[in-house]
Amino acid sequence: MSGEPDPRGRIIYVTTVNFDQYCRDVIPNEWFPSWLPASLESGAIAVKMFAWYHHLHPVTVGGFTFDVDNTVNFQTYKAFSDQDATDRAYYRTRSLAFVQPSGEIFELNYRAGYENSPNWQYRNSQKMSQWGTQFLASQGRDFLQILQFYYVGRSLVSIPGVGKG
């Protein structure tokens, strides 16, 4: 123990949030709801896979065990902030997972990046550019092509028993 404060700040409480609602409440806070559907769909997959990975790998701090927090350490979650456009993107991709060739769930990281650019610096770096998703969508790429641009060698698979909602 270094004696330094936890960068997350003091934990006040831990609450349980429905997984679907969590994802729906993160997407519009990480992707602009006005963006193109392919951008929002690639964002929906990234948000879901990030949350799923952290659900499988929880953290314990100060006696509290949690999957994610609502800071920039994880994803920006604001309860009941879901929007129609981002909900549509989530439900169109709800039954899909973007996984390693082995089928393993992995963390899909993303960063803002720069406007009007695919943000080549993130290509195959295991990070996706949020602005880059909008740029690539404006060039006619679908959400799978966008994901494959940033995460080379991964596969899109159906999640058994999960419908589109």
Cβ neighbours for 128, distance < 8 A, ≥ 6 positions apart:
42, 46, 108, 109, 110, 111, 122, 146, 147, 150, 151
Say what the pLDDT of residue 74 is: 80
pLDDT of residue 62: 77
pLDDT tens-digit readout, 117-162:
999 888 878 899 999 999 999 999 999 999 999 999 999 999 988 8
Mean pLDDT across 4-16: 65
Angle at 160 between CA 45 and CA 102, to 5 degrees: 70
pTM of the model: 0.89
Give pLDDT tens digits for 15-73: 889 999 999 999 999 999 999 999 999 999 999 999 999 899 988 877 777 787 666 67
| CA–CA distance, 6 with 44 (Å, rounded to integer) | 29
pLDDT of 13 strictly over 80: no
pLDDT given for residue 8 in this prediction:
58
Mean pLDDT for the stretch of residues 88-107: 96
